[in-house]
Amino acid sequence: MSTAVAVVGAAGRMGSTVCQAVEDAEGLELVARLDTGDEITSETLNGAEVAVDFTVPDVTEANVHALVDAGVDVVVGTTGWSEESYGRVREHLARPEAAGRSVLIAPNFALSAVLVMSFAAKAARYFESAEVIELHHPNKVDAPSGTAVATAQGIAAARAEAGLGPVPDATRSDPDGARGAVVNGIHVHAVRLRGLTAHEEVVLGNEGEQLTIRTDSFDRASFIPGVVLAVREVSGRGGLTIGLDKLLDL
Ligand SMILES: NC(=O)c1ccc[n+]([C@@H]2O[C@H](COP(=O)([O-])OP(=O)(O)OC[C@H]3O[C@@H](n4cnc5c(N)ncnc54)[C@H](O)[C@@H]3O)[C@@H](O)[C@H]2O)c1
Ligand SMILES: O=C(O)C1=N[C@H](C(=O)O)CCC1
C-alpha cells in the first residue's frame, strides 16, 4: 500500500525537487501538483493522504488550514512561522473536526542543519558570546532564514536555562543595523550571494577561544531524505510537531 502525496508549491525550486523525490520513493505516490492559482480542496488534492507545502511565507499558514480542512496530514518546509501562527494551527488541530490530523513544520530538513541547531543549543550554555550567520542564494524572499531564527531561539533558550545574561556588546550607535537582526537577544546576520544554496554558521566565543559550527547545503538534494522521512512518519502523530529533530533520536 503506497501513501498518496500532494505537493503545494510544486512549480518552485523545492516543490519540483520534492515532486521528483516522491515519484522516485518506494511506497509514495504523487497524486497532485498544486501551485499559485490552484484551490486547495479534496477534489484538487485527488485522494492525497499527505500534502507537502513548499510555498512562500505569506501563504503557507492559510494553506495549512485549508489542507487540514480538506482532511490531509501536512508536512511544511516553508519558512516565516511565528509563535502566533503555530498557535493558530494548534488551535485548529484541537477542534473535533480535525481530530487525528497531524502537521509537521520544519525550517530545515537537511540533517547537517538539524544537527547544527542541536549542537548549538547544547554548546550555548558554555559560551559568553553567540551569533548566527546565515548565507543563502539571492532569490530567497525572507530574511533572516527560518533556520537562523530557530537556531537563535534554541541558543537563547539554553542560555536562559543556564542563567546566562545578555551577550556582551558595547555597541551604542548602529543607525544602519550593522549588528543584524536580534532574535531573543541573539544577533543574526543574513548574507545573500549568487552561487550559494543554504548555509549557516554559529559562532560561540569565550575569552581566548571560539567554537564554530557550520552547515552547508550545496544542493537541494540535501533536504530530500528529511522530507521523505517526514512524509512517511507524519500521519498518526496527531497535533503539531515543530522540527525534524523530533523524528530523529537527538
Ligand atoms: N525546510 C527546508 O528544509 C527548506 C529548504 C529549502 C527551502 N525552504 C523554504 O521553502 C520555501 C520555498 O522555497 P523555494 O526556494 O522552493 O521557493 P520558490 O519561490 O522556488 O517556490 C515557491 C513556489 O510556491 C508557489 N506559490 C506561491 N504562492 C502559492 C500559493 N498560494 N499556493 C500554491 N503555490 C504557491 C510559487 O508559485 C512557487 O512555485 C521558502 O520559505 C524557503 O525558505 C525550506
Ligand atoms: O532556500 C531557502 O530559502 C531555504 N530556506 C530555509 C530557511 O529559511 O531556513 C532553509 C534552507 C533553504
Would you kindly state where each structural domain of the chain is located, as residue ranges? 3-105+221-247, 111-218
How many angstroms separate the CA atoms of 113 and 106, rounded? 11
Specify the higher pLDDT residue, 249 or 220.
220
* 167 pLDDT above the threshold of 90: yes
Question: Which residues, 6+ apart, have CB-to-CB distance to 52 below 8 Å?
Answer: 5, 6, 7, 8, 15, 18, 22, 74, 75, 76, 77, 227, 231
Query: What number of other Cβ atoms are within 10 A of residue 87's Cβ?
Result: 11
Percent of the chain as helix, strand, coil, to the nearest 5:
35, 25, 40
The average pLDDT across 98-108 equals: 97
Bridge-based pairing of strands 186-192 and 239-242 is: unpaired
Residue 144 CB–ligand 2 contact under 6 Å: no
Helix H or strand E encompassing 121: helix 111-123
* CATH class as words, domain 111-218: alpha beta
List Cα–Cα distances, 18 to 8, 10, 102, 184, in angstroms: 10, 8, 19, 32
Residue 147 CB–ligand 2 contact under 6 Å: yes
Residue 34 CB–ligand 1 contact under 6 Å: yes
* 10 pLDDT above the threshold of 90: yes
Which pLDDT value is given to residue 250?
86
How many angstroms separate the CA atoms of 219 and 72, rounded? 29
What is the layout of strands, in order, in the sheet containing 181-183?
Answer: 181-183, 186-192, 129-136, 198-206, 209-217
- Say if residues 237 and 56 touch (Cβ distance below 8 Å): no
Residue 249's pLDDT band (boundaries 50, 70, 90)?
A: confident
**51 has which bridge partners?**
6, 74
* 157 pLDDT above the threshold of 90: yes
Query: According to the annotation, is 146 in a ligand binding site?
Result: yes
Which pLDDT value is given to residue 197?
98
Centre of ligand 2 to C-alpha 21, Å, is 18
65 is an active site residue: no
Mean pLDDT value across the chain: 98
Catalytic choice (65, 92, 122, 140): 140
Residue 146 CB–ligand 2 contact under 6 Å: yes
Which pLDDT value is given to residue 1?
81
Which pLDDT value is given to residue 188?
98
Length of the chain: 250
Centre of ligand 2 to C-alpha 134, Å, is 9
How many angstroms separate the CA atoms of 246 and 105, rounded? 11
Centre of ligand 2 to C-alpha 145, Å, is 6
The letter for the amino acid at 76 is: V
Centre of ligand 2 to C-alpha 171, Å, is 29
Residue 89's pLDDT band (boundaries 50, 70, 90)?
A: very high
Residue 3's pLDDT band (boundaries 50, 70, 90)?
A: very high
Given 3.40.50.720, 3.40.50.620, 3.40.630.10, 3.40.50.2300, which CATH number is that of 3-105+221-247? Answer: 3.40.50.720
The average pLDDT across 96-107 equals: 97
122 is an active site residue: no
Q: Helices 146-161 and 111-123: crossing angle, nearest 10°?
A: 20
Which pLDDT value is given to residue 12?
98
The average pLDDT across 167-178 equals: 98
Query: According to the annotation, is 14 in a ligand binding site?
Result: yes
User: Grid cell 543556564 — which residue?
Assistant: 162
List Cα–Cα distances, 99 to 47, 82, 126, in angstroms: 19, 23, 42
Nearest CA to ligand 2 atom 12: 198
